[in-house]
Amino acid sequence: MADLDLQMRDPNDINSHIQVAFEDVLAEPEGIRSMDCVWKFTYKCFTLWKQLCYNIATLCCGICIAMNWGCIFAETAFYHIWYITPYLKWLEINCSPLRKLFRMCLSCCMDPVCESIGNVFHAFKR
């Protein structure tokens, strides 16, 4: 908690695509405008309700959702560390003889064919 930055809460810009500032959501083009008092009140209402609703939602749900995501990522790490990575290593070890056999068969069957084709084209010189 000592290195938790309470000012910069998205240092890696993972949520930069979410634009929720008033200017990014509401805009009046040139030639059509509401009264200044309406526009100012709209700005204040938007900002107040956006922050209030967000605070209520995070208060009610944020901790539970964070616990859920923590469990999901812990489960993912667990499966990768204890199941997926060892299983891939097991496959790599057990498939090694098959890889060698496959290479031998290919070299026995394809090397003479490729060499013969190479000799045919080698005869054609400029």
For 56-104, the pLDDT digits (tens) are 999 999 999 999 999 999 999 999 999 999 999 999 999 999 999 999 9
DSSP 64-125: HHHHHHHHHHHHHHHHIIIIIHHHHHHHHHHHHHHHHHHHHHHHHHHHHHHHHHHHHHHT--
Q: How confident is the prediction for the chain on average, in pLDDT?
A: 91
pLDDT of residue 1: 59
**60, 54 in Cβ contact below 8 A?**
no
Q: Name 43's Cβ contacts closer than 8 Å, sequence gap at least 6.
A: 22
Find tokens 């469990």 and name the residue.
Answer: 71
**11, 5 in Cβ contact below 8 A?**
yes
pLDDT of residue 118: 87
Q: How far apart are CA 126 and CA 122, in angstroms?
A: 10
